[in-house]
């Protein structure tokens, strides 16, 4: 299984690709960040994130995309930017028919380190160890993206199968034209 992990952010959107299956050694296929200038308007930044993620999808051809679930913070502006970058990643995956899984930060930390309260240094150290790297990936956003991919590989085999089946069903089902509502089927109310 090949998973693209996305640690969403407007300035630095972490991306990392991990290949493997639960119970076997994992392999990093790539890690990095998609950067946008802080002084650019939000629409342009989102386009840059979309282009960067599309490039990663083209290059690495993942089977799944794991995105950090946006959680409530005190800084609404930060939450909004993170949510927007997260939506772009989900859109890019959905456009290609790739299943998307959302994982909370504490779920990822617990999967990788054993503690849902681990700090960035602990996550980076465990990612380094689990992927048998010489040094922790830099910046931390790239390590977090790899941790998301690892979490997904380890925790979601059943969810993956369900999402694949749902994605196949959506691709096979006819899509009604926008603005046209289907009449309810007899006995579905």
Catalytic residue numbers read 7, 68, 141
Contact 18, 76 (CB under 8 A): no
Contact 133, 25 (CB under 8 A): no
Residue 38, token pair as written in the block: 């802080």
**Which of 84, 10, 88, 14 has its CA nearest to residue 51?**
88
Cα 143 to Cα 14, 21, 27, 137, 150: the distances in Å are: 8, 19, 13, 5, 10
**Which of 96, 103, 82, 90 has its CA nearest to residue 152?**
103
Work out the angle between the directed axes of helices 105-113 and 140-155 (0-180°, nearest 10).
Answer: 80
Distance CA 179, CA 184 (A): 15
Distance CA 164, CA 172 (A): 12
């Amino acid at each position: 299984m090949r998973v693209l992990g996305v640690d969403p952010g407007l300035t630095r959107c972490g991306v990392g690709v991990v290949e493997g299956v639960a119970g076997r050694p994992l392999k990093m296929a790539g890690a990095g960040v998609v950067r946008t200038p802080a002084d650019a308007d939000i629409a342009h930044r989102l386009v840059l994130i979309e282009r960067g993620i599309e490039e990663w999808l083209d290059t690495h051809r993942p089977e799944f995309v794991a995105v950090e679930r946006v959680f409530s913070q005190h800084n609404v502006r930060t939450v909004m930017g993170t949510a927007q970058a997260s939506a772009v990643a989900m859109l890019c995956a959905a456009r290609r028919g790739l299943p998307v899984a959302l994982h909370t930060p504490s779920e990822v930390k617990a999967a990788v380190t054993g503690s849902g309260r681990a700090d960035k240094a602990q996550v980076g150290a465990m990612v380094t160890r689990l992927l048998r790297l010489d040094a922790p990936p830099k910046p931390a956003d790239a390590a977090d993206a790899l941790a998301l991919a690892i979490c997904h590989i380890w925790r979601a085999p059943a969810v993956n199968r369900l999402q694949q089946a749902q994605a196949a069903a959506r691709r096979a089902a006819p899509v009604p034209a926008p603005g046209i509502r289907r009449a309810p089927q007899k006995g579905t109310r």
